[in-house]
């Protein structure tokens, strides 16, 4: 038979649904199916980094590759640890600070809809029990930049947020298996073996680059909670973005992994950025199996 451009049935029964035949034909897919496809969870864990060293460490340690189907610079991959395969998507925020972190969170949410978002990179240690090279795994963040300026001085109005219980339980399980503090070691490219610890505790977050161990901010944080281990400039934005999330693309929880690169004093420099970033990425890799929450 020649010239046929349709459907031919030579006998029996046949059912055709949501198909189109002929020139210019179209199919209208039900809205609920389109919505389900748009909301599909394309990653189990989303990762936000800020600095070049942080992004490189995540890409190398997790084995992520540049996503080819997005205009935004996402990196993605499947990470196998302890028999668990975790789909990971990572993005580097456009700039330091809380605002870009909030946008990075939203971009991950819209494009990958991960169950958990982890902010990973470096931070400054402010507690006597933390050392350069150690890693802080935080599920509580104190945002310190809310304040009132008066003739008598500055009055901070710290705001503390904690991740949902599901993530807290996951972190507890991690430390149950690895010990608390957990003890890790990595080998540099030159063969140097570095031992470091992983501790859990709150971190302080605001817009300041702190290079004074006796600064008013650090004094305030220590008075707010003497167990605060470190400071950064982005975790407050992560917790705020999570707090204000809406819609059907719902992130279940968050965590912060900070490798300690300095002690937030006048000796602060960039010498340990790469090492601290790699330590944080290594800890995140080992944490991934515990974050397999809400997989669909």
Q: What is the CATH number of the domain that holds 286?
A: 3.40.50.1580
Give backbone dihedrals phi and psi of 284, rounded to 5 degrees, phi first.
-60, -45
Residue 217 has pLDDT above 50, yes or no: yes
Decide if 120 is inside a domain: yes
Q: How far apart are CA 126 and CA 124, in angstroms?
A: 6
Decide if 26 is inside a domain: no
Decide if 235 is inside a domain: yes
User: Coil, strand, or helix at residue 98?
Assistant: helix
Q: Which domain holds residue 191?
A: 31-291
pTM: 0.84
Q: H helices within the chain, ranges in order? A: 31-38, 52-62, 98-112, 165-178, 216-224, 235-243, 273-287
Taking only the tens place, the pLDDT of each residue in 180-192 is 999 999 998 888 9
Decide if 14 is inside a domain: no
The answer to whether 162 touches 182, Cβ cutoff 8 Å, is no
Decide if 252 is inside a domain: yes
Query: In this predicted structure, what is the pLDDT of residue 4?
Result: 53
Decide if 58 is inside a domain: yes
Query: In this predicted structure, what is the pLDDT of residue 22?
Result: 59
Nearest-CA neighbor of 83 among 271, 295, 290, 266? Answer: 290
- Domain count for the chain: 1
The answer to whether 272 touches 189, Cβ cutoff 8 Å, is no
Chain mean pLDDT for the chain: 88
User: Coil, strand, or helix at residue 144?
Assistant: coil
Query: In this predicted structure, what is the pLDDT of residue 75?
Result: 98
Decide if 107 is inside a domain: yes
Decide if 236 is inside a domain: yes
């Amino acid at each position: 038979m020649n010239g046929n451009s349709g459907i031919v049935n030579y006998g029996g029964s046949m059912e055709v649904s949501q198909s189109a035949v002929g020139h210019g034909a179209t199919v209208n897919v039900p809205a609920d199916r389109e919505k389900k496809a748009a909301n599909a969870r394309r990653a189990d864990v989303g990762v936000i980094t800020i600095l070049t060293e942080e992004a490189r460490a995540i890409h190398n340690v997790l084995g992520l590759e540049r996503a080819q189907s997005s205009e935004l610079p996402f990196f993605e991959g499947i990470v196998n640890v302890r028999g668990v395969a975790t789909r990971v998507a990572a993005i580097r925020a456009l700039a330091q600070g809380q605002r870009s972190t909030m946008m990075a969170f939203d971009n991950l949410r819209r494009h990958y809809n991960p169950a958990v978002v982890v902010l990973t990179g470096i931070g400054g240690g402010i507690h006597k029990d933390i050392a350069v090279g150690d890693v802080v795994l935080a599920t509580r963040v104190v945002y310190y930049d809310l304040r009132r300026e008066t003739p008598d001085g500055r009055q901070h109005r710290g705001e503390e947020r904690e991740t949902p219980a599901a993530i807290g339980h996951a972190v507890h399980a991690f430390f149950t298996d690895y010990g608390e503090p957990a003890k890790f070691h990595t080998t540099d490219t030159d063969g140097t073996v570095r031992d470091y610890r992983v501790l859990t505790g709150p971190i302080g977050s605001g817009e300041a680059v702190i290079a004074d161990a006796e600064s008013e901010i650090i004094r305030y944080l220590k008075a707010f909670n003497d167990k605060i281990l470190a400071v950064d400039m982005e975790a407050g934005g992560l917790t705020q973005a999570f707090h204000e999330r809406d819609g059907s693309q719902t992130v279940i929880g968050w965590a912060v992994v900070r490798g300690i690169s300095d002690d937030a004093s006048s000796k602060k420099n960039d010498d340990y950025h790469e090492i601290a970033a790699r330590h944080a990425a290594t800890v995140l890799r080992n944490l991934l199996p515990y974050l397999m929450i809400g997989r669909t």
